[in-house]
Amino acid sequence: MASNKSSEIEILRYSDRYREQSMEVLRKSFFQNEMVCIGAEVNLTPQAQKDLEQLCLDVANGGVSLIARHKPTDTIVGVSFNVLQTPSGPEDANYFEQFRDTKCKTDSSRALMQYMITMDAKVNLFERFNVKCLLEIMFLATLPNYEGQGAGTLLVAESVRLAEKLKSGQAVPTSSSSEAFDKPQLVSALFTSRKSQRVGEKVGFTVINQVPHSEFVYKGKTFTDRIGPEHPFSTLVVKHI
- Domain assignments of the chain as residue spans, ordered by start: 5-240
Per the DSSP assignment, residues forming a β-bridge with 235 are 191, 210
Please give the pLDDT value at position 2: 41
Model's pTM, two decimal places?
0.94
Residue pair 41/226 in contact (Cβ under 8 Å)? The answer is yes
**What is the average pLDDT score of the chain?**
94
d(C-alpha 43, C-alpha 21), whole Å: 19
What is the model's pLDDT at position 176? 63
What is the Cα Rg of the chain in Å? 17
At residue 88, the pLDDT reads 83
- Cα distance between residue 4 and residue 9, in whole Å: 10
Model confidence at 90: pLDDT above 80: no
Distance CA 173, CA 196 (A): 25
Per residue in 103-140, pLDDT (tens digit) is: 999 999 999 999 999 999 999 999 999 999 999 999 99
Beta bridge pairs of residue 222: 217
Rounded to an integer, what distance in angstroms lies between the CA atom of residue 37 and that of residue 152?
18
Contact 160, 239 (CB under 8 A): yes
Is the confidence at residue 177, as pLDDT, over 70? no
Query: Is 90 exceeded by the pLDDT of residue 154?
Result: yes
Q: How is domain 5-240 classified at the CATH fold level?
A: Aminopeptidase (3.40.630)
- CB-based contact 87:147 (threshold 8 Å): no
